[in-house]
């Protein structure tokens, strides 16, 4: 049984939420989001929030129950607070800068990498070696951060590359003489 799925998702003040069939639409201060819940899960609007229940007792329905509840909770967090992912750049001459609607990355290649910033995402570079990706859709923020990291993931010998803030890089010992 899902322990997280049993709880109703509370609707914070200043947020309007409505359920139409399997679609949950949420509108708040930062914007509007919607989610189509899988058919294995029923969605109901109640006075204390949005309640989700499995349609039947199959393994798939029960596994989608908690997942769907968390996705609906992420909608509420997104339209009220938003989401943020921080990246750190390590390496001599490695840096990032936002130029208009593109993120310009210098990552030790013979050319600069220009990453077009998608709609609904804000990228800031407080320092040349720090990138802050923010937006209201948790999945999109994580995807953009992963794509930026994917250009030059941290290598295990010197730790050079793009990494998440707080990410531990397993370091290897170099060659012996």
Question: In sequence order, what are the residues at sequence separation of 6 or more whose Cβ sits closer than 8 angstroms to the Cβ of residue 99?
Answer: none
pLDDT in tens, 37-82: 999 999 999 888 999 999 998 999 998 999 999 999 999 999 999 9
Whether residue 4 has pLDDT greater than 90: no
pTM: 0.89
Whether residue 127 has pLDDT greater than 90: yes
pLDDT reported for residue 1: 58
What are the structural domains of the chain? 16-80 (3.90.930.12), 83-164 (3.90.930.12)
Q: Quick one: pLDDT band at residue 176, thresholds 50, 70, 90?
A: confident
């Amino acid at each position: 049984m899902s322990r997280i799925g049993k709880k109703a998702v509370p609707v914070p003040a200043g947020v309007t939420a409505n359920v139409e069939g399997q679609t949950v639409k949420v509108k708040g201060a930062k914007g509007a989001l919607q989610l189509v819940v899988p058919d294995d899960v029923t969605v109901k609007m109640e006075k204390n929030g949005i309640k989700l229940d499995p349609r039947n007792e199959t393994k798939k329905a029960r596994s989608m129950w908690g997942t769907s509840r968390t996705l609906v909770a992420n909608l509420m967090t997104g339209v009220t607070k938003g989401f943020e992912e921080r990246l750190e750049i390590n390496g001599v001459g490695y840096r990032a800068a936002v130029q208009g609607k593109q993120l310009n990355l210098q990552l030790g290649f013979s050319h600069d990498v220009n990453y077009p910033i998608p709609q609904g995402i804000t990228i800031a570079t407080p320092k040349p070696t720090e990138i802050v990706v923010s937006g209201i859709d948790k999945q999109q923020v994580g995807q953009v951060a992963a794509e930026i990291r994917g250009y030059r993931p941290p290598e295990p010998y010197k730790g050079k590359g793009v990494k998440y803030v707080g990410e531990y890089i397993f370091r290897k010992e170099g060659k012996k003489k």
